C-alpha cells in the first residue's frame, strides 16, 4: 500500500536519525566473498569462519591469516548455494547445508565426514559437541535434533510456524528455537520437554544461548530484543523497543554470547554490531561493518558475529569480514 505523501518528511527524518549514530568503524577488514554471502558462521574460539558465498560457494577461512583453507561444496565441479553453516563448540567439525542436504566436515583436513538429506528445508543449524548431532531449524514447523554421524532424527521440537533460528547450550542439554509463529522456546534436549516460552510481536529472527545455558537472547523482526533467564523464563533486559516519538525499530538477525556468558554480541539487518553487558543490559560499544562503496545503496546485513583474542569479528552479507576493536 502506498503511503500518504504527507508522511514522507517524517519518514525521511526517522531514517536520517537512525543513520546518525556513534558506531565505530572496523579496525581492519578483508574480502571473503566477491559478490556477498548467503550465510556465515564464526567458530567459538574465533579461529575460523565458514562462508556460503553467492558466487564462490562454501569455504573455510583462517581468520587471523586471512586465508581461504578449503572449498566446501556438496557436488564436484559445482558451487553450492548454502542456506546455513555452523561449527561444533571446539571447532573440530563444521557443517554446511543447502536447502535439503547437510554435510559434516573435518576442519583440520577439510574432508567430509558424511552427507545426509534433511527431513525438511533447512533454515538454520547448530552443531553439538563432537559434531555428532545437529539441531536444524526447518520450514515444516519443527526443529529436529539430527544424528549427523548415523543419520535420522533423534528428537523433534514442534512450532506453529517455520523455525528460522536455533541454538544449543555448550553441553547440548538445552535448546532454544525461534519461529514464524512469534514464539521463542526453551527445550530440554534429553526429554523434549518445553521448559519456557516467550511470545514477541513479530517473527523471531535470532536466538542465542550462553554456553552454560543460564541466559538466552531472542529478537523479533523490527521489534523487541530481550535477554532472559532460562531458569525462570523471565525477561532480564530489553535491548530495543518501539517506544518513543521516533520508534526504534531494529532487526537483530545474529547474536553470540561470550564463553563466560558476561557479554553478548549482536548484529542487525542494517549492518550495526553491538557489544552488550549481559548483567546490566547496557551497550558497551558498537560498530558499523565495512561498506563496499562510500555512497549509494550500500547497506549490508550482518551474517555472523564472533569473539576473538582482544577483538571481535563480523561477517557482512556483502562478503567482507570485519575485525572490530
Query: 199 lies in a domain?
Result: yes
Widest CA span in the chain: 61
Query: 294 lies in a domain?
Result: yes
Please state the pTM of the whole predicted model: 0.90
Q: pLDDT (tens digit, 9 = 90+) per residue, 277-302?
A: 999 999 999 999 999 876 655 679 99
Q: pLDDT (tens digit, 9 = 90+) per residue, 174-204?
A: 999 999 999 999 999 999 999 999 999 999 9
Which value, to the nearest 10 degrees, does the dihedral of the CA atoms of residues 319, 323, 324, 325 take?
-170
| Stretch 301-315: mean pLDDT | 96
Query: What's the confidence (pLDDT) of residue 248?
Result: 59
| Closest to 324 measured CA to CA, from 22, 23, 20 | 23
For residue 2, pLDDT over 70 is answered with no
Strand partners, 322: 29, 314
Q: What is the 3-state secondary structure (H, E, C) of 131-175?
A: HCEEEEEECCCEEEEEECCCCCEEEEEECCCCEEEEEECCCCCEE
Residue 49 phi, psi (nearest 5):
-130, 135
Q: pLDDT (tens digit, 9 = 90+) per residue, 105-123?
A: 999 999 999 899 999 999 9
What order of strands is seen across the sheet that includes strand 28-31? Answer: 28-31, 320-324, 312-316, 302-307
Query: 7 lies in a domain?
Result: no
Query: 1 lies in a domain?
Result: no
Average pLDDT taken over every residue of the chain: 90
What domain count does the chain have? 1
Query: What's the confidence (pLDDT) of residue 150?
Result: 83
Query: What's the confidence (pLDDT) of residue 297?
Result: 55
| Stretch 3-19: mean pLDDT | 35
Query: 6 lies in a domain?
Result: no
Query: 319 lies in a domain?
Result: yes
Strand partners, 126: 135
- C-beta of residue 222 within 8 angstroms of C-beta of residue 252: no
Structural domain including 311 reads 35-324
Query: 88 lies in a domain?
Result: yes
Query: 2 lies in a domain?
Result: no
Question: What are the percentages of helix, strand and coil residues in the chain, rounded to 5?
Answer: 5, 50, 45
Query: What CATH number is associated with residue 316?
Result: 2.130.10.10
Amino acid at each position: 500500500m502506498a503511503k500518504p505523501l504527507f508522511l514522507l518528511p517524517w519518514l525521511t527524518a526517522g531514517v536520517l536519525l537512525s543513520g546518525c549514530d556513534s558506531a565505530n568503524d572496523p579496525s581492519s577488514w578483508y574480502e571473503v566473498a566477491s559478490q556477498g554471502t548467503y550465510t556465515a558462521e564464526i567458530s567459538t574460539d574465533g579461529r575460523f569462519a565458514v562462508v556460503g558465498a553467492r558466487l564462490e560457494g562454501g569455504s573455510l577461512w583462517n581468520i587471523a591469516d586471512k586465508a581461504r583453507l578449503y572449498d566446501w561444496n556438496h557436488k564436484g565441479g559445482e558451487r553450492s548455494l548454502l542456506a546455513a553453516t555452523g561449527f561444533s563448540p571446539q571447532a573440530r567439525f563444521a557443517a554446511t547445508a543447502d536447502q535439503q542436504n547437510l554435510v559434516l566436515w573435518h576442519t583440520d583436513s577439510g574432508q567430509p565426514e558424511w552427507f545426509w538429506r534433511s527431513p525438511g528445508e533447512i533454515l538454520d543449524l547448530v552443531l553439538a559437541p563432537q559434531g555428532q548431532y545437529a539441531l536444524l531449524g526447518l520450514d515444516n514447523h519443527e526443529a529436529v535434533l539430527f544424528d549427523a554421524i548415523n543419520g535420522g532424527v533423534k528428537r523433534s521440537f514442534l512450532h506453529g510456524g517455520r523455525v528460522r533460528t536455533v541454538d544449543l547450550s555448550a553441553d547440548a542439554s538445552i535448546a532454544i528455537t525461534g519461529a514464524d509463529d512469534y514464539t521463542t522456546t526453551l527445550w530440554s534436549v534429553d526429554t523434549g520437554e518445553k521448559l519456557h516460552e516467550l511470545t514477541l510481536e513479530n517473527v523471531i529472527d535470532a536466538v542465542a544461548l550462553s554456553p552454560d545455558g543460564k541466559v538466552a537472547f531472542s529478537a523479533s523482526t523490527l521489534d523487541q530484543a530481550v535477554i532472559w533467564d532460562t531458569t525462570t523464563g523471565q525477561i532480564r533486559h530489553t535491548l530495543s523497543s518501539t517506544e518513543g516519538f521516533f520508534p526504534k525499530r531494529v532487526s537483530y538477525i545474529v547474536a553470540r554470547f561470550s564463553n563466560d556468558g558476561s557479554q553478548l554480541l549482536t548484529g542487525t539487518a542494517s549492518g550495526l554490531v553491538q557489544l552488550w553487558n549481559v548483567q546490566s543490559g547496557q551497550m558497551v560499544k558498537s560498530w558499523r561493518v565495512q561498506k563496499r562503496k562510500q555512497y549509494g545503496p550500500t547497506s549490508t546485513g550482518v551474517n555472523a558475529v564472533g569473539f576473538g583474542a582482544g577483538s571481535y569479528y563480523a561477517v557482512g552479507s556483502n562478503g567482507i569480514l570485519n575485525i572490530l576493536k
